[in-house]
Structure formats: C-alpha cells, structure tokens
A and B are shown apart, each in its own frame.
Chain A
Amino acid sequence: MRKKVCRYCVDREAIIDYKNAETIRHAVTERGKIIPRRISGNCAKHQREITIAVKRARQLALIPCTATQLD
C-alpha cells in the first residue's frame, strides 16, 4: 500500500483557516464529519489544526455540523 502523506506538509499553499469555509470543506466528509488521520494520512500537527478549525467554523455556522439539519 502506498504511504499516505500529509497534504498540508507537502503543499504549503494549502492553508487551514476556519474563516474560509472552502479550505475546511476538504477536511470533512459529505456528512460534515472530520476525516480521521487514518484515512486522510495527515500528520498529527496539521490534523490538530484541522480539528480546531472545523470546530470553530461549525460554531460560526460556516459549515454544517450534520447533513441532516436540525432546523
């Protein structure tokens, strides 16, 4: 199996910013769940940044918490 590499380590252009929903979209599934390191292959440092960013973006209603909205 191919060794996965952290895309944020490889690509310095790929930024993690909770204010920009587009940068966060890659980090979550269609259901809005955070993609685990096991799947994405991100390094611990960047995964940590991602989880924090996703949770902040959710708080600000920039990205959904779930696919089925509790309206």
Chain B
Amino acid sequence: MREYETIFILRPELAGDAVDAFNARMKEVVTTSGGKVIRLSNWGKKRLAYRLKKCSRGTYVHLLYLADGRVVAELERNLRLSDNVIRHLSVLLAKDVDPATRQTEADVRMRGDAEDEGVSAPPALAAQPAIQEPAAPKEAAAAAAAAPAEAAVDEPEDET
C-alpha cells in the first residue's frame, strides 16, 4: 500500500462536534474502501493567508493513512461533495509501505490561532501560537522519518 496524507479545510462556521463527526465520517470512508488510517490531526481554526470561498478562517484537518490510489479518489470525491470543505490537498508520501509495520496513532488536536472570531486576542498575540502549533505534528513526523537516516549520516567534514 501507499502512504498518503490529505489536508482539508472546513468552513469556520462548523461547530466543534460537527467537525468531529465529519472527520469520523472521512476516516470511515478510508477504512471502508480498504485503507488504514494512521493519524488524524485537527489543527484547529486557523486564519487563512487569503480568502477561500468568502471565508477568512478555516478548520484544518490533517489525515495520514495507508491506501491505494482508488481510496484517495473516493476520499476526494467525498470531500468535493461536501459543502463544508473549502479546500483539500492529497499528497503521496511513500510507495510500497507494509500496513503491518505502521501502527495506528491517537488523534491529535491542536489549538488554532483563531478559535473565537472577534473575541480573540489582538493579531500580534494571536499569531504567536500559530507559529508554534503547526510545528508539533511535523516535528514528530520528521523525527520518526529522520531517525533511521540520522544513524547513517555523519558530521559533514569541515571545508577549508
């Protein structure tokens, strides 16, 4: 199987439990069509760099899974059909992954930088956690990916 990741952005109006329900449904789409979900991360409500479908914020959800190409097509079809999704992107991470070697991980939930519209802290303050938050899942993933590679890599030699 292949390892894919799909990120989709949900409308900011969607309430917390509606987001969870939608995410659960998308996980189900992957599993029922023969994929294996590794991890679902909810990045929380974040400010968009530019407006998408008249929205200036959105809830980012990152789904990491093992599947075949058909499963991705099926998932994307579902994302396109839903009115809640304002943007989605799927990326192939690795080919020929053995599903038995990859453990399912617990869902991750992060706080976005724009949880409450209007009531939130001034932009300068609100922007601060945004810088930190997205780094967390990536660091973990990078650490996992880099671990085998690191052993092989020695200190680069000094050039004079």
Taking beta carbons and an 8 Å cutoff, which residues of A are in contact with B? Answer: 10, 12, 15, 17-22, 56, 58-65, 69-71
Contacts and interface: CB of A to CB of B under 8 A. Distances in A.
Interface string B84-124: 00010101000000000000000000000000000000000
B91 A17 contact: no
A17 B153 contact: no
A62 B50 contact: no
5 contacts: A18-B91, A60-B7, A60-B9, A61-B48, A63-B49
B35 to A, nearest CB: 20
B44 interface: no
Interface string B41-76: 000000011111000101010100000000000000
A56 B131 contact: no
A17 B49 contact: no
A63 B49 CA distance: 5
B153 to A, nearest CB: 7
A20 B153 contact: no
Contact of A22 (B50, B60, B131, B156): B131
A71 B55 CA distance: 10
On chain B, which size bracket covers the interface?
A: 20 to 34
A17 B138 contact: yes
B7 A71 contact: no
Contacts of B138: 15, 17, 19-20
A29 to B, nearest CB: 15
Residue of B50, B62, B137, B153 with most chain A CB atoms under a 10 A cut-off = B50
Given A19-B138, A22-B131, A70-B50, A61 B62 contact: no
Contact of A60 (B51, B87, B131, B142): B87
Given A10-B156, A19-B7, A56-B89, A61 B134 contact: no
A12 B153 contact: yes
Contacts of B87: 59-61
Contacts of A61: 9, 48-50, 52, 58, 87
B15 interface: no
A10 B158 CA distance: 11
